[in-house]
Amino acid sequence: MHDGNLGNCDNSECIADERPTGHGNAALFCCCSTHHCNRRVQFPPQRTATPSSTTMEPEIEDTGFFSGGSRMFGIIILGFFSLCALALFCYYSYREYRNSRHYKEKAVDAFSMPIVGDAKLPLIGARKDDNLKNITNLELVARGRFGQVFRGMLDNETVAVKVFPSVDVNSWIVEQEIYAITSLRRHKNILRYFGSEVHGNDFWLITEFHDNGSLFDFLH
């Protein structure tokens, strides 16, 4: 590329520079004198504008839910619902405790039944330490999840005494309810039920004794 009016063309390389065009803008121009020198045009490095040190980015206002007053409002709401949940939990826990305690007291004290007698009599409930019939010669024969089983003598008859701790009083009640089922009272494959007693914090269930132990022991 060569034009005498546009400058010196003695360069061996085509190095473009910016020239005004007269129309309010500029164009890149290069002029060189070697053969096919303009096949490889070298452009000047682009100039990047240096931002002014006095320019500051505008502050972005936080418009989120937890900004400013909204944040405090959210904390108050969260605390309120947490207190409500805690109050409900305490209420239901206390009610369950009260109902459980009332149920145990009712099972032990509210009914009156002979300590030892026919299975046709009411079974739920027992008297405390009445000892109308004395069980002697207690001997531990088994220990399980819900209590201990002793062998003893009741009026010259060998009986099984299952002793439940106070924490398992519900199991003691359930077993009495099972023996209260009419169809099971005289069944030959069901232990004969004598009665139940309360001794301090222990709950006794008195039945017929079998040397083979429990069904689990017999099968194994």
Q: What is the pLDDT of residues 113-130, one digit of tens each?
A: 434 333 333 444 444 444
Question: Do 116 and 192 have their domain in common?
Answer: yes
Q: What are 153's two structure tokens?
A: 């003598």
Tell me the pLDDT band of 97, cut-offs 50, 70 and 90. confident
For 213, left (φ over 0), alpha (ψ -120 to 50), or beta? left
Asked if residues 138 and 152 have their Cβ atoms less than 8 Å apart, the reply is: yes
pLDDT at 75 over 70: yes
Question: Do 33 and 89 have their domain in common?
Answer: no
Please state the domain count of the chain: 2
Q: Could you tell me the pTM of the whole model?
A: 0.43
Output the pLDDT for position 8. Answer: 66
Question: Do 31 and 89 have their domain in common?
Answer: no
Note whether residue 188 is domain-resident.
Answer: yes
Per DSSP, 182 falls in state H
Note whether residue 143 is domain-resident.
Answer: yes
Q: How far is it, in rounded angstroms, from Cα 153 to Cα 116?
A: 13
CATH number at residue 168: 3.30.200.20
Note whether residue 47 is domain-resident.
Answer: no
Question: Do 31 and 130 have their domain in common?
Answer: no
Question: Do 117 and 198 have their domain in common?
Answer: yes
**What are the angstrom distances between the C-alpha of 178 and each of 172, 173, 182, 183, 204?**
10, 9, 9, 10, 15
Q: How far is it, in rounded angstroms, from Cα 210 to Cα 143?
A: 15
The type of residue at 145 is: R
Reported as half-sphere exposure (CB side, CA atoms, 13 A), residue 62 has a value of 8
Q: What is the pLDDT of residues 136-148, one digit of tens each?
A: 888 898 888 878 9
Output the pLDDT for position 124. Answer: 42
Note whether residue 163 is domain-resident.
Answer: yes
Note whether residue 57 is domain-resident.
Answer: no
Asked if residues 185 and 119 have their Cβ atoms less than 8 Å apart, the reply is: yes
Question: Do 96 and 203 have their domain in common?
Answer: yes
Q: Which of 131-135, 169-173, 184-188 has the highest mean pLDDT?
A: 169-173
Q: What are 61's two structure tokens?
A: 């206002």
Question: Do 119 and 26 have their domain in common?
Answer: no
Beta strands in 56-192 (DSSP E): 135-144, 147-154, 157-165
Which residue range forms the structural domain that includes residue 141? 85-220
Question: Do 98 and 29 have their domain in common?
Answer: no
Average pLDDT over every residue of 143-159: 87
Burial class of residue 146 (count of CB atoms within 10 Å of its CB; 0-12, 13-18, 19+) = middle
The C-alpha R_g of the chain, in whole angstroms, comes to 50
Note whether residue 23 is domain-resident.
Answer: yes
Question: Do 116 and 216 have their domain in common?
Answer: yes
Asked if residues 116 and 194 have their Cβ atoms less than 8 Å apart, the reply is: yes
Which distant-in-sequence residues (6+ apart) come within 8 Å of 38 by Cβ? 1, 14, 30, 32
The type of residue at 18 is: E
Output the pLDDT for position 86. Answer: 92
Q: How far is it, in rounded angstroms, from Cα 158 to Cα 201?
A: 24
Locate tokens 């034009």: which residue?
3
Note whether residue 48 is domain-resident.
Answer: no
Note whether residue 66 is domain-resident.
Answer: no
Locate tokens 């398992």: which residue?
168
